[in-house]
Structure 1
Amino acid sequence: MRFTFVHCHGSGNDFPLIDARGIDLSDPEWARVARALADRSGDVGGDGLLLLTAQDGSHIFGMRMFNPDGSEAETCLNGLRCTARLGFEVTGAEAGRVRLKVSDAEARRVAPIADGVTTIETKVGPVSLAPGDVGLTIGDAPFVEAAIPGLPSERKFTAVAMPNPHLVAFVDAVDDGELVALGDWCEAGPALIPTRANVSFVELREKGHAPALFVRTYERGVGLTNSCGSAMAASTLAAARTGRIGWGVETRVFNRGGMVRATAAIGDVVTIAGNATFTWDGEIEVDPATGAVGPVRIMGRRDEEVAAWEGMLAGL
């Protein structure tokens, strides 16, 4: 089956994105397509596969996201910005409600965060801090900067469902080795959190009227990643919940992939504004029944967008 796609990224979190509104495949078939296209050793590669899906009721369109291992994520906020951009382009809309796997979000075009950088704002929430919603099998009250019994770490975590599960700890300096060890433990699906979790270590780099966070994430189904949009949102909420930033205060959130603007509002609603950069367009043959993949054909490159993003990074 021939698929056309756009390769894109949100804050360095990169994906092949398919307009799937007219494509009828089963979930196992899409999982095989995702494993084929998001494979870093292949011709495309990415942190997952994004699908633009059809309008439904109050939703202007929908998004699905499959991880490189074929599992489907509840949400992906970096991917949502890219999917919303494509959705706006094909529908002619500028804003709307987007259907996700088990929830929805508001998305709209906003002023660029830098010259030439297409920017989409998304709003999600209210999100949940109930341990069961995060996937934890222990506790009735929310874990907000608290030790989680049974977790192989003495650090204090805030557990948030975005609705995908996040464990967020604030640290003086990120230790990748420690983060990977804990992420690997969660990825094994232990009894404490059998559906696994995204784990983030966060540094508070600036305080006051212009706060800044640096987020490093072990992403469920992916591993250590340069960027995870829902982790940046969860970290912003955790920072507000623990008094590190103010409610309603715009915060710059950095990761190795770039930067977004984020705000946590009372009521546990998080708004993220960041890039939705299209880097190149391609087509490829994938057999959904087997996952067999053919060579990729590059249809065009978006060099001006790439240069604009790289110029923004250089100025950070």
Structure 2
Amino acid sequence: MLVLSGASAAGFAAATNAQTAQLTPRNEPFRLLYAPHFGMFRHHAESLEDQLQFAAEHGFRAWEDNDMGSRDEATQRRLAAKMEKLGMQMGVFVAHCDFSKPTFASGRKDHQDLVLADIDRACTIAGRVNAKWCTVVPGLVDPRKDAGYQFSNCVELLKRCCEKIERNRSELVMVLEPLNFRDHPDLYLTKMAQGFAICRAVGSPHCKILDDLYHQQITEGNLISNIDASWPEIGYFQCGDNPGRKEPNTGEINYKNVFRHIHQRGWKGIVGMEHGLSQGGKEGELKLIQAYRDADSFYDEHYGLEGGGGT
């Protein structure tokens, strides 16, 4: 057990305060719209509203919540009001995600009905929480069908989903998330090029790609080239380093370069922080914030970008 003398304790406290001060000015917005989620700052703030407040005070201008659809209506409306007051933009919530059935690839009516009901519900939730994006994971592959038929079934169902959104919530965008084969085997959608082809075939502004850089680093890598090739069909980004799926600077992805690249391309959308923390407690949460400050402080002589301030 470490016992500090009075002088040593004072020095330790000063060092800790200095480390925290490096995060200031606390309200300085990040250059990109990074979106934390509930639980990420639970050691600094207990209630859901206080977690939003803490994030806003440290420069975050967006938020995402996969579980928003499972919250009761009163909570949804309360959180939406808090985000609006703080000037925070709502990111994705999950509209449809099934890891047990080929919901899109099969072409079966019962699968289609399930998906369409989920999209109906997503339109209602999006209206309550001012959301512009919802996540869709198009289920498993159907091993009994040729790839061409699976593709056609997926596209046709997505077109029906888009028609429903256009009627009920015209600003909502489904973002299709390719997931990696290691964490989620046998899923239908896994690669960026596949997502690009599907979105082009659907041909609707309500159907875009969610480029989760953690998943794509595992599946195929080549992150920046795939971003460029898929750019017209990307509607949302998420991140997490690999291995470990923790904050930037804990794995092999050079997030400063990736963030700089999408900023240079004019990205104005959200970058969801769908990952865990490499360290527990308040210290880990401060480390997380500092990791994003570091990754957001990209600099390029040609473009003259520096610092972590707002656009």
Shared fold, TM over 0.5 = no
Higher relative contact order (CA 8 A, sep 6+): 1
Instruction: Judging by fraction of residues, say which structure has more strand.
Output: 1
Select the structure of larger CA radius of gyration: 2
TM-score (normalised: structure 1)? 0.29
Higher normalized helix content (fraction of residues): 2
TM-score by length of 2: 0.29
